[in-house]
Amino acid sequence: MSTLTPRLVHPPAHSLFDGDLSLGLTQITVFPTASLDLGNVMIENGNVSFDPTNPDVTFEGDIIQNNCSDNTGTIIVEAKQGSDETDVLVQVTASTDVERTNGDEVLCENLLVGQTIETRGELLTGDTVDAIRVELQ
């Protein structure tokens, strides 16, 4: 059984190696404070695919813009760690759980600029997350 080792080859591209043998190259956005679960990684003829297709991401950041109404819409969150910062577009849908740390529900439109939230969801193209859960810290 081989162990695959990801190596950063040119941000944000990652090359997957088995020892010294390069098996494939993929590009994954990783922004400050984020943790990613790539699920199952398949490499076939140098092509890298994931199952599920969109990796699961969890990150924390401050709200810099809220475009929600009727408990759906988008929030722009600044994910920051040290001098690294990225603005992440968080998509909130009717199925997104929006709550306080104690479990009380919060309407998306009541989240305020400057508040800190933790978001878990699917990482889409670029710096966009389809939120499963948004938790007001």
Per-residue pLDDT tens digits for 102-111: 889 999 999 9
Q: Which fold has domain 56-136?
A: OB fold (Dihydrolipoamide Acetyltransferase, E2P) (2.40.50)
What the block records as the tokens of 90 is 């968080």
Domain extent listing, the chain: 4-51, 56-136
Q: pTM, whole model, 2 decimals?
A: 0.69
Per-residue pLDDT tens digits for 9-66: 334 455 555 566 555 555 566 666 666 656 566 666 666 666 656 778 888 999 999 9
**Higher-scoring residue by pLDDT: 117, 126:** 117
